[in-house]
C-alpha cells in the first residue's frame, strides 16, 4: 500500500496529536507544576516525615515481595515447563488470573480470606494482624505481581530446552547444582526483566493496597496512597511531588526494561 505524502502526513499528525494530548501534555504539565516553585519546594514536599515514611514503607514492601516472587516464580515456571503432570492447563490459567482481576477485587478477596470475619480469621484472632497492616499489603502486592516472573522465565526455559541439564545430571550433578550452574545462568536476562516488571508494579500498586491498608499517614501509607491522600486533602504541590517521585521510578523501570530486552534478544 503506497500512501501519498498528503494522507500519510495527515495520519502521522493525527497519531502524534492524539499521543501528545493524551500522554505528553499531561505528564509535561505535572512536571512543570512540581518544579514551578523551584527544586527546593519539591524537596521540602518529599522530605516531610510522612513522605519519608511512605517511601520507606513502599521500598519495604518491594524488598519483601520481589524475593518471594523470584523464588516461587522460577519454581512455578520450572514446574510448568519441565514437569509433566495432569492439569497443567489449569495451573497456567491460575498464573494468568491476577492479570484479569481488578485490583480492588484483590483487596476485597484478601479481606474476606484473612480478615477477622474471614476463613482464616483465626490468624488475626491469635494476634497476628494481616488485614490493615503490613502483611496484608504484602499479600496484595504479591497477588498482582505474581505472573511477571513466571511469564518472563517460562519462554526462556522452553527455548533453551533441557539437554544441558540432562548432561549435567548424567555427569552426576544433583538438582541444586544443575539449577545453580546451568538453568539460572541461562534464564538470567528473562528473570531480570521479570524482576523489573515486578518492582515497577509493586511500587505503583494502588487499588489492592488501598483496600487492605489502614491508611494512617506516616504509618501505613505507601507512596501511591500518599499521592491520593494528599490530593484529597487539597495539598496539590505535595501530591504532585510524590507523583513525580513515582514517575521517576517508572522512568528508571522503562529504561531497565528496554536494556534487559535488548540483552535477552542478543543472548
Partner 1 sequence: MPRPATEVAGGDGPDGRTPADPSTPRPRARSRRRARADAGGVGPLGLGVATLWLSIIVLLPLAAVVAKSLDGGLPAFWEAITSPPATRALQLTLIVSIVVTVINAVMGTLIAWVLVRDEFRGKALVNALIDLPFALPTVVASIVLLTLIGQNSPVGLDLFATHWAIGIALLFVTLPFVVRSVQPVLLEVEKEAEEAAASLGAGNLTIFRLIILPALLPALVSGAGLAFARAVGEYGSVVLISGNTPRNQVASQYIFDRIETDRPAAAAAMSVTLLLITFAVLLLLRLFTWWRTRNEG
Residues in contact with partner 1, shown as a per-residue x/- string from 36 to 55 under the rule CB under 8 A: --------------------
**Stretch binding partner 1 (CB under 8 A), from 37-45, 46-54, 122-130, 250-258:** 250-258
Binding residue for partner 1 (CB under 8 A) from 195, 224, 238, 260?
A: 224
The binding track of 200-219 with respect to partner 1, each residue x by CB under 8 A or -, is x--xxxxx--xx--------
Sign of CA dihedral 109, 102, 247, 31: negative
CB of 47 to partner 1, least distance (A): 20
Q: How far is CA 202 from CA 128, 164, 167, in A?
A: 23, 34, 38
Binding positions for partner 1, 10-39, rule CB under 8 A: 11-12, 14-16, 18-19, 22-27, 29-30, 33
> Is-contact 243 228, C-beta < 8 A?
no
Q: What residues numbered 86-145 form the site for partner 1, per CB under 8 A?
A: 91, 94-95, 97-98, 100-113, 117-119, 139, 142-143
Residue whose CB is less far from partner 1, 52 or 255: 255
In this complex, which beta carbon is closest to partner 1, that of residue 53 or of residue 225?
225
Radius of gyration of the CA atoms of the chain, in A: 23
Residues contacting partner 1: total by CB under 8 A? 96
How far is 222 from 51, CA to CA, in rounded Å? 9
Nearest distance in Å: CB 129, partner 1: 17
6 binds partner 1 (CB under 8 A): no
Number of C-beta neighbours around residue 18 at 10 A? 10
Span near partner 1 by CB under 8 A; candidates 43-51, 122-130, 253-261: 253-261
Please report how close the Cβ of residue 46 comes to partner 1 at its closest, in angstroms.
14
Q: Which stretch binds partner 1 (CB under 8 A): 35-43, 44-52, 81-89, 122-130?
A: 81-89
The Cα–Cα gap between 149 and 171 comes to 30
Residues 137-196 interacting with partner 1 (rule: CB under 8 A):
139, 142-143, 146, 158-159, 161-163, 165-166, 168-170, 175, 178-179, 182-183
Amino acid at each position: 500500500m503506497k500512501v501519498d505524502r498528503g494522507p500519510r502526513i495527515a495520519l502521522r499528525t493525527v497519531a502524534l496529536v492524539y499521543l501528545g494530548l493524551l500522554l505528553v501534555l499531561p505528564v509535561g504539565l505535572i512536571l512543570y507544576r512540581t518544579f514551578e516553585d523551584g527544586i527546593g519546594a519539591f524537596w521540602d514536599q518529599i522530605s516531610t516525615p510522612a513522605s519519608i515514611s511512605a517511601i520507606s514503607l513502599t521500598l519495604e514492601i518491594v524488598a519483601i515481595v520481589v524475593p518471594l516472587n523470584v523464588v516461587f516464580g522460577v519454581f512455578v515456571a520450572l514446574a510448568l515447563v519441565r514437569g509433566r503432570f495432569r492439569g497443567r492447563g489449569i495451573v497456567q490459567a491460575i498464573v494468568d488470573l491476577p492479570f484479569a482481576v481488578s485490583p480492588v477485587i484483590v483487596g476485597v478477596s484478601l479481606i474476606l480470606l484473612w480478615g477477622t470475619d474471614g476463613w482464616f480469621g483465626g490468624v488475626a484472632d491469635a494476634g497476628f494482624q494481616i488485614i490493615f497492616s503490613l502483611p496484608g499489603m504484602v499479600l496484595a502486592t504479591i497477588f498482582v505481581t505474581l505472573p511477571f516472573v513466571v511469564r518472563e522465565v517460562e519462554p526462556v526455559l522452553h527455548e533453551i530446552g533441557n539437554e544441558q541439564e540432562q548432561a549435567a545430571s548424567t555427569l552426576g550433578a544433583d538438582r541444586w547444582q544443575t539449577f545453580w550452574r546451568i538453568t539460572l545462568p541461562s534464564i538470567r536476562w528473562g528473570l531480570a526483566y521479570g524482576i523489573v516488571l515486578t518492582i515497577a508494579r509493586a511500587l505503583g500498586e494502588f487499588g489492592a493496597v488501598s483496600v487492605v491498608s489502614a491508611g494512617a499517614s506516616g504509618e501505613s501509607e505507601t507512596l501511591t496512597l500518599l499521592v491520593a491522600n494528599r490530593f484529597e486533602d487539597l495539598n496539590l504541590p505535595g501530591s504532585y511531588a510524590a507523583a513525580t517521585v513515582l514517575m521517576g521510578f517508572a522512568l528508571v523501570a522503562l529504561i531497565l526494561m528496554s536494556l534487559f530486552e535488548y540483552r535477552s534478544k542478543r543472548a
